[in-house]
Amino acid sequence: MKSFWSIYRARNREFYRDKGSLAWTFAIPLLIVFAVNYAFSERVETFFEVGIIGSADQLPAWDFLHQPYTDIIYYGKGNVGEKTAMKKLLHHELDLLIRIGTPHTYWLNDTSPRGQLIADIIGYQDDHQSVRNEVSGQKIRYVDWAIPGIIGMTIMFGGLFGAGYVIVRYRKNGVLKRLQATPISKTAFLSAQIFSRMTILLMSGIIIFTGSHLWLNLVMMGNYGLLFLVLLVGSGSLIALGLVCSSRTNSEELAGGLLNFFSFPMLLLSELWFSLDSAPEWMQWLSGVLPLTHMVAAARAVMLDGAHFLDIAHHLIILTVMWIVFLAIAVSLFRWHND
Amino acid sequence: MSKRYRQVQAVDNITFAIQQGECCGLLGPNGAGKTTTMEVIEGIHSADCGEILYHNKPINASFADEIGILFQHTSLMDFQTTAEVLQMFQAFYPRTLPINDLIAQCNLTDCVQRYATQLSGGQKQRLLLALALVNDPKILFLDEPTTGLDPQSRRHFWQLIAEIKKTGKTIVLTTHYMEEAATLCDRLLIMDAGHIIASGAPHQLLVNHFGDEARQRNLEDLFLTLTGHGLRE
């Protein structure tokens, strides 16, 4: 344990005494948050977002549904599709949700101005055969939806590259070889790397969250401790994956290629910037095997839906298993030197 | 013991013993197998065949507690002061020397609060020596410890090693400086192409090879006589 804490402290010193690295690590994510807020807060939407549960052939005969300014999004029948669509209506991501049937059933959000506008339009056009329901939910701005993704992205890059490149540098310049000549074990060394990096990444996540909360009035419906737990296991799994990528090589180019192999799919498929609800099934499956997807989904559920522990337990279990498996692989593949 | 790296037979079936308390020098041209021999003994590499015995028993994990190593090329973690590096290495061992003693012994008093990466060549070598001594090792491995140092720093380093010798520690040293070998080593093993081609006390080796002319010859003459004048790499 003494060895572990010794490496942990040394690695932390390496980070916080490098002022340039320190500043960039914390400043860049905050700049991205403000850029996203600025870019999307002035957006003028020119159409209604309508969710449909059921077949396209049996849409109600309301004119506005067939106009170019209305975007129709179809959700699968059953609990999962309906639950997803309802959540979007609650967050004002949908203005109207219709379940096709006889009669049709539709839901509006009574706190949404556009939802009320649709209610008035339907009032003129409806044959009074449809069943109307109302739900209430706070509007989720794009920046509220994006911030869990930005925190996740920061942790992903910091975990994969921050941990991976350091190991390659240590191996290349002989730091690891010198440590090999001491009684420290691979497990103690790698665990110290993980926990040191995790400390930095969690601080980074807290700074992004606090900055967004103070200046952008970020939505936070759930428990702070639970969000912290999500970021903790998420960062653990991503750092351990970074260590797998750097477990043997002393080539920065090779390590960079391996790290990009994992980071690019996560950047595109882990729902950082956009939802994959309407993406092909294979893409959604691929998204589901990536650790960042689970971390962002769980963080978003806690922050935007007020999810409890049991609601996100499956994400936490998957991330914990990934963390253990990646660490075991990293320890078994790890070499102190490549002479 | 033998060790091969892909196409290169680095060490080829050598056998030797080092006595407790002696300073044993490994000499040889570049690529002779000195560093490989040393690193196999240290446990950094495994031998392809053969065995390393310590007190007549095969070495095991606890051997790392008994030895101190100064590698030919070593970097330390960035942004750590001399004192912090020593404290970090102290934490790896069950039995250690007080840091203040190491700082005094290796003349590091002036650079205790300086980052290790900002030290001069001589100061850095003294810090690496202090790290090798942090666990009060019984055996000290020094791989070309004075390469790249100016003559003053080199002679100062020799004094440090001579002081360590007096404490009864066993020292295994590789060097390209014949004067260093003559000054510090009780016994020399001269290697070439992975083989030990001569061994013995420095003066005895000169007598064995040059007979009556031994007084007029030095270790460099002996080295060149045994290993030839041709470039090795």
Whether residue A175 has pLDDT greater than 60 = yes
Whether residue A182 has pLDDT greater than 60 = yes
Is A125 at the interface with chain B, CB within 8 A? no
The model scores a pTM over 0.80 = no
Which of A3, A18, A183 shows the shortest C-beta gap to B65?
A183
Whether residue A46 has pLDDT greater than 70 = no
Confidence of residue A195 (pLDDT cuts 50, 70, 90): very high
Is the separation of the CB atoms in B161 and B184 below 8 Å? yes
Beta bridge partners of residue B196, listed in sequence order: B191
B30 Rama sector, left if φ>0, alpha if ψ -120 to 50, beta otherwise: beta
Helix (H) or strand (E) segment spanning residue B25: strand B23-27
Convert the pLDDT of each residue in B42-84 to its tens digit: 988 888 999 999 998 998 888 888 999 999 888 888 899 999 9
Non-local CB neighbours of B153 within 8 Å, separated by 6+ positions: B121, B122, B125, B146
The pLDDT value given to residue A78: 76
Whether residue B189 has pLDDT greater than 60 = yes
Distance CA B69, CA A179 (A): 10
Distance CA B181, CA B164 (A): 15
- The pLDDT > 70 percentage for chain B reads 98
Whether residue B229 has pLDDT greater than 80 = no
Q: Which residue has the tokens 């003994």?
A: B41
Q: What's the CATH number where B108 sits?
A: 3.40.50.300
B25 falls within a domain: no
Cα–Cα distances (Å) from A39 to A142, A192, A296, B120, in that order, read 10, 39, 21, 51
Distance CA A122, CA A333 (A): 63
Whether residue A127 has pLDDT greater than 70 = no
B81 falls within a domain: yes
Is A104 at the interface with chain B, CB within 8 A? no
Distance CA A54, CA A66 (A): 16
Beta bridge partners of residue B230, listed in sequence order: none
The pLDDT value given to residue A71: 85
Q: Do B84 and A181 make contact, defined as CB atoms within 8 angstroms?
A: no
- What are the phi and psi torsion angles at A24 (to 5°)? -65, -40
Whether residue A29 has pLDDT greater than 80 = no
**Of the candidate ranges A58-62, A122-126, A301-305, B184-188, the one whose mean pLDDT is the lowest:** A122-126
* Residue B72: domain span: 30-185
Is the separation of the CB atoms in B16 and B199 below 8 Å? yes
Residue A113's CB is within 10 A of a number of other CB atoms, namely: 11
Confidence of residue B36 (pLDDT cuts 50, 70, 90): very high
Q: In what order do the strands lie in the sheet with B67-70?
A: B67-70, B139-143, B170-174, B23-27, B187-192, B195-200
Confidence of residue A301 (pLDDT cuts 50, 70, 90): very high
Beta bridge partners of residue B188, listed in sequence order: B25, B200
In chain A, which residue's Cα lies nearest the Cα of B6?
Answer: A339
Q: Do A339 and B45 make contact, defined as CB atoms within 8 angstroms?
A: yes
A201 vs A1, which has greater pLDDT? A201
Shortest CA distance to B116 belongs to which of A336, A184, A20, A17? A17
Q: Which residue has the tokens 């952008």?
A: A216
- What are the phi and psi torsion angles at B196 (to 5°)? -90, 120
Distance CA A174, CA B117 (A): 13
**Of the candidate ranges A270-284, B14-28, B46-60, B63-77, the one whose mean pLDDT is the lowest:** A270-284
Q: Do A18 and B79 make contact, defined as CB atoms within 8 angstroms?
A: yes
DSSP state of B173: E
The pLDDT value given to residue A77: 75
In chain B, which residue's Cα lies nearest the Cα of A188?
Answer: B92
Q: Where are the domains of chain A?
A: 2-38+141-333, 48-135
Is the separation of the CB atoms in A60 and A108 below 8 Å? no
B102 falls within a domain: yes
Residues of A in contact with B113 (CB under 8 A): none
Average pLDDT over residues A169-183: 90
The pLDDT value given to residue B218: 81
Which of A10, A173, A339 shows the shortest C-beta gap to B84?
A10
How many domains does chain B contain in total? 1
Q: Do B84 and A18 make contact, defined as CB atoms within 8 angstroms?
A: no
Beta bridge partners of residue A99, listed in sequence order: A53, A105
Whether residue A138 has pLDDT greater than 80 = no
Q: Closest approach of chain B CAs to the CA of A195, in angstroms? A: 17
Is A20 at the interface with chain B, CB within 8 A? no
